[in-house]
Structure 1
C-alpha cells in the first residue's frame, strides 16, 4: 500500500516544518514539499493538521492473569483501541510466576499477542532468582530481542522481589546491555498497612490509597536508585506518581546517574478524591497501583516532564470490568488493580499539556513517542518521521474536540477513568506500517497485523555508562615492601 500525506506540518521531537510524507512498503519513502502521488496511492489531506510519530505506550498489560482473574482487554482489542487514539506500538509485560521459566512465559505471551493489530514488544519480569533465570535472561536478550527486565518491589507473597534479587538481576542485565525497570513501592510497608486498615474495619476502596501512601513509593524509588548506583547500572522507574519519587530521580540524574522516569496520563489529571466516591463501584474502578494521589503531586509530575527529569508517558493499561472489581467488595486488597487509558493518553496529554502551555508540540512528541523509542533502542525505526523509519504516523487535529466516554471508546472495559472529560486534540488518522488503520471515526484495525519488534541490547547510553563505570572503578593499591637500611 502507498499513502501520500499531503499539506501537513511535520512535528518531530526536534523541529516542525511543512512537508508532504510518502509512505510505501511499510516505511517512509520521502519527505518534502509538493510530492507527487504514485499511481494507485491513497492521498490523505493533512491541511491544518500535524503529522507526528505514532505514540508508543511503554507500559501495558493486555489479557494479564492477575489477582485471580484475567484483564478484560486482549492484544487485539487493546491495540485496536490504541490505534484509534494515535498510538501505534505498545510494550507489554511477560510476568512469570515465581519458579516459572522466563522463556516458557515469554513464549506464552508471544502466543497471546499474535492477534495484535499494531506492533508490540515485551519487557520480561524477574520474579525470582536462580542460575536458570540468569541463563534465560541471556537467551532472551540474544535470541528474542528483549532488552528490558521488570522488577516488582510490591505485591508481597506474589511477585515481589527483595534487594538480593534486585542486585543479582541488575548486575546480570548490566552485563547483557539491558535496562532494568522497577515498580517502586515498598511491599512490606504496604502489606503492614493493609493488615492494620482491615483490622480497623476499613474494607472499601479508600483503604487502597491509605495502604499505599506516597512515602512507600518514595522509599522504594530511593532504594532502587541506590541499588543501581552500587552497580553502575541504568534504571527506569515505571508509573512515577509522587513528588517524593520525582525528586529522587532528579537528584540521581543531577549526580550523573542514568535514571529514567515514566508517568501515567491518569496520574497527571486524576486525584485521590475518587476513592471517596459514595458509589462503591465507581471508587473501585479507580483502584490501581500506585493509587491516585493528593492533587499537589500532579504539579511535581508536570514539572518533571517539562524539565526533562521525567522522560516518558504511559498508561499501565490493565482493564477489569465491574464484576471483576466486585471480587473485592468486602476487602479492598482483593480488588483487581488496574485501569484503562491506551486510547485516550494522547488526547489527554495534548489537552492538558500542550493546550495549557506546559508542553510544546515537539515536547509532546518527545514524551509520547521519541524518548521511549530511544530509551528502549528502537529509534529511529520508531519514534521518528524520517526516510526509512516505519510508517507509524498520526495525523493530529489540534482543533478537534471530543468527549471521552465508555459509551464511545473502543477499549474492552465498561468504565473510563476520564469519563466526561472534554479534550481538544485528537487523532484524525493513524497509519500503522504505512496502512491507514483509523480515519475520522472509522477503525480499520486488522487482527494479527501487528509485528513483534526486536529491541537490541546496548543502546547508545550504555557506552557512556561503561566509561563512567571504568572511571569510578576502584583501583587496587599496590604496596611496595619497606626498604630497611642496615648500619
Structure 2
C-alpha cells in the first residue's frame, strides 16, 4: 500500500515546511518537495492544509468497569472515534482490582483491546502492594512494553494507593526505568467532604465540585512531587485541573525536578457552571474527577501549556450514557465519573489555542503528540513526520469548521461536553498505518487494525 500526501505544509514540533509525504506500508519513506510516487499510489491533496503527526491521547478509558457499570465506548468504538478526530494512538489504563495480579489484569485488557481500530498502549495501575506486585512490574517492563505505572491517590475503599504503596511503587519504577503517573486528589479528604455534604442533604451534582476543591488536588500533587523528589524519580501528573497543582509542578521544575503535567481538553474550555444547571441530566453528564473548574483555573492551564510546565493534552475519555449516570440521581457520589472527548480534543485545542494565538501550530503538535511520544518513549516512531516514523498522519484544514454534537459524533454515550461548540480547524483526512481511515466526514475504521505499541524502559533494566 503506497500513499502520498501532496501540496501540504508539514508541521512538526520544531518547524513547519512545505513538503510531500510518501508512505509505503505502515511507514513514512520520504518527505520532500516534488516526490515521485507509483501510478497506483493513493493520492491525498493537502493543498492549503497542514500535515501533522497523528494525535496521541495520553489518557483514555475504553471498556472500563467502573462504579458498578462499564463505559459505553469499547476499544473499537473509542479508537474509531479518535481516528475521526485525528487521534491515531491512545494510552489507556489497566486497572487491577485490589489484590488482583497486575499481569492477570494486563492480559484481560490486552484481550479487550484486540478490536482496536487505532494504535494503543497501556499505563498499568498499582492499586495495592506486595512482593508479587514488585515482580509483576518487572515482567511488564521487560516483556510487555510497559514503561509507566498509574497511581490513584483518590477513590478511598476502592483503588486508592496509600503513601506506602506510592513509595514502594515509585522506587520500583525507578529501578526499572519506568515513570510513575499520578491521579492527584487526596482521597481521604474527598471521602470526608462527600459524607459531610450528604449529611447536609446536598445530594445533587452541584455537590461534586464542592467535594473536590482545588486544595484537595493541590495537596496530593505536592505530596506526589515531594515523594518523587526524595526518591529521585520523575513523575507525571495526569489531568491537572487547577492553578494550585500547576504551581506545584512549576516550582518543582524550576528546581530541576523532572515533573510532567497533563491538561484535559475539557478543563481548558469548560467551567464549573455546568454543575449548577437546572437540567440534572446535563449536570450529571459533566461529573468527572477532578471536576471542571472556574475560568481562573482555565487561564492558568493555558499559561502552563504556553510556558512549558504542562506538556500534554488528553481527554480522560470515559463515556457513560444518561441511564448509567442516573445511578447517582439521589446521591452524587454514585454518579459514574467520566466524560468523552477523544473525537474532539484536537479540534478543541486547535480552536481555543491556535485560533486565539495562545499556541503556534508547532506548539500544537508538541502538546497533542510529540511531547507524549517523548515522555513515554515512543519517539520518533510517533509524534513526528519523518522518514522511518509510523505513517500515522492527520491532514488539517485550519479554515474548516464543525459544530460538535452528540447527534453527529462517532463516540457512544449520547452526550458530549463540547455540545454546540463550533470549532475552526478540523481534520479532513486521517491516515493510520498508511491507510486512509477517515476522509471528509467518512469513517473507514477497521476493527482490529490497531497495533499494541511497546514502550521500552528509559534505562537498562537491572532489577
Partner of 2:181: 181
CA drift at 1:75: 0.2
Partner of 2:123, secondary structure, is strand
Partner of 1:114: 114
**Aligned equivalents of 2:345 and 2:162: distance in 1?**
32
Gaps of 5+ in 2: none
Partner of 1:412: 412
Q: Deviations over 1:431-455 (max 9, x none)?
A: 0001000000110000000000000
Partner of 1:465: none
**Aligned equivalents of 1:85 and 1:361: distance in 2?**
17
Whether the aligned pair in 1 keeps the contact of 2:149 and 2:179 (CA below 8 Å) is yes
Partner of 1:90: 90
Partner of 2:133, secondary structure, is helix
Q: Deviations over 1:96-142 (max 9, x none)?
A: 01000000000000000000000100000000000000000000000
CA drift at 1:37: 1.9
Query: How does 1:221-370 map onto structure 2 within 5 Å?
Result: 221-370=221-370
**Aligned equivalents of 2:345 and 2:363: distance in 1?**
15
**Aligned equivalents of 1:123 and 1:221: distance in 2?**
19
Q: Does 1:372 align with 2:372?
A: yes
Q: Deviations over 1:395-444 (max 9, x none)?
A: 00000001000000100111000000010000000000010000001100
**Aligned equivalents of 1:403 and 1:217: distance in 2?**
33
**Aligned equivalents of 2:13 and 2:269: distance in 1?**
23
Whether the aligned pair in 2 keeps the contact of 1:377 and 1:459 (CA below 8 Å) is no
**Aligned equivalents of 1:450 and 1:258: distance in 2?**
32
**Aligned equivalents of 2:274 and 2:11: distance in 1?**
36
Partner of 1:386, secondary structure, is coil
Whether the aligned pair in 1 keeps the contact of 2:176 and 2:459 (CA below 8 Å) is no
**Aligned equivalents of 2:459 and 2:382: distance in 1?**
14
C-alpha RMSD of matched pairs (Å): 0.9
Q: 1:206 to 1:459 in 2, by over 3 A?
A: farther
**Aligned equivalents of 1:382 and 1:443: distance in 2?**
22
Larger Rg computed on CA atoms: 1
CA drift at 1:459: 6.2
**Aligned equivalents of 1:36 and 1:412: distance in 2?**
41
Whether the aligned pair in 2 keeps the contact of 1:170 and 1:180 (CA below 8 Å) is yes
**Aligned equivalents of 2:186 and 2:157: distance in 1?**
13
Gaps of 5+ in 1: 463-487
Whether the aligned pair in 2 keeps the contact of 1:8 and 1:50 (CA below 8 Å) is yes
Partner of 1:17: 17
Where does structure 1 differ by over 6 angstroms across 4 or more consecutive aligned residues?
none
**Aligned equivalents of 1:321 and 1:413: distance in 2?**
4
Partner of 2:394, secondary structure, is strand
Partner of 2:114, secondary structure, is helix
**Aligned equivalents of 1:162 and 1:4: distance in 2?**
52
Q: Does 1:192 align with 2:192?
A: yes
**Aligned equivalents of 1:231 and 1:186: distance in 2?**
20
**Aligned equivalents of 1:174 and 1:9: distance in 2?**
40
**Aligned equivalents of 1:156 and 1:387: distance in 2?**
47
Partner of 2:30: 30
Partner of 1:209: 209
Q: Deviations over 1:15-69 (max 9, x none)?
A: 0000000001110010111111213101000000000000000100001000000
Q: Deviations over 1:445-487 (max 9, x none)?
A: 0000000000000169x9xxxxxxxxxxxxxxxxxxxxxxxxx
**Aligned equivalents of 2:122 and 2:39: distance in 1?**
38
Q: Deviations over 1:312-337 (max 9, x none)?
A: 00000000000000000000000000
Q: Does 1:151 align with 2:151?
A: yes
Whether the aligned pair in 2 keeps the contact of 1:375 and 1:459 (CA below 8 Å) is no
TM-score normalised by structure 1 residue count: 0.94
Partner of 1:115, secondary structure, is coil
**Aligned equivalents of 2:384 and 2:294: distance in 1?**
36
**Aligned equivalents of 2:37 and 2:412: distance in 1?**
38
Partner of 2:59: 59
**Aligned equivalents of 2:396 and 2:441: distance in 1?**
13
**Aligned equivalents of 1:459 and 1:86: distance in 2?**
31
**Aligned equivalents of 2:383 and 2:304: distance in 1?**
21
